[in-house]
Homo-oligomer: A and B are copies of this chain.
């Protein structure tokens, strides 16, 4: 029988209090300008940008949309969304693995928020840290992809607990990858029985309308 040892290491951080103060100021600023803000989180390559593009395509006739993109480097994502006629702000974090409330505040300096109805903030590609930092958004939406394998929910219960909705993306690949989407939904329900869950393919457009209705868009 092989040895099987488990060590739990508890790392606590003091940073969250200070971030919450700035997030509250951001939330107040968003309210004052009557703009609805969504913080879109998820790991690298889960399709956050494509999801935002799909929503922008449906919204941009009726609403004025701003997209704020967080990445360590490049402005690939902002440029992709910008090509849909949406205004964009790219935040390059250098080494930081998540956005925080102050970064968003600094990035929006000089931006006239009253020009917009909706802001999508695409967080840095990371399933862990962005969940710990409120940006002052109305909702935190986490995007997972079935290409991430079957365990990403069970390994990241805190991210699920801190989210207001879960989007399961790339469901068009479920058959090819022999992926059990129902099992993934059960894992989410085990963490939070009432959390809204949306099955979508940002690529084919399946489920996008339901997602937007669920977000009140």
Interface string of A9-26 (1 = CB under 8 A from B): 111110000000000000
- A212 interface hit (Cβ, 8 Å): no
- A164 interface hit (Cβ, 8 Å): no
Contact of A85 with B127 in the complex, beta carbons under 8 Å: no
Nearest Cβ distance between residue A100 and chain B, in whole angstroms?
9
Q: Which chain A residues (73-88) contact chain B, with CB distance < 8 Å?
A: 73-79, 82, 85-88
Knowing A2-B88, A156-B73, the reply to whether A7 touches B107 (Cβ < 8 A) is yes
Which residues of the partner chain B approach A136 to less than 8 Å between Cβ atoms?
none
- A93 interface hit (Cβ, 8 Å): yes
Q: Which residue of B lies closest to A124 (CB)?
A: B128
Contact of B128 with A76 in the complex, beta carbons under 8 Å: no
Contact of A44 with B148 in the complex, beta carbons under 8 Å: yes
Contact of A90 with B5 in the complex, beta carbons under 8 Å: yes
Interface string of A107-120 (1 = CB under 8 A from B): 10001000000000
State the CA gap A128–B4 with chains docked (Å).
28
5 smallest CB-CB distances across A and B, nearest first, come from A45-B148, A147-B147, A45-B149, A97-B128, A11-B96
Given contacts A2-B88, A76-B151, 4 further A-B contacts (CB under 8 A): A2-B87, A71-B155, A76-B155, A97-B97
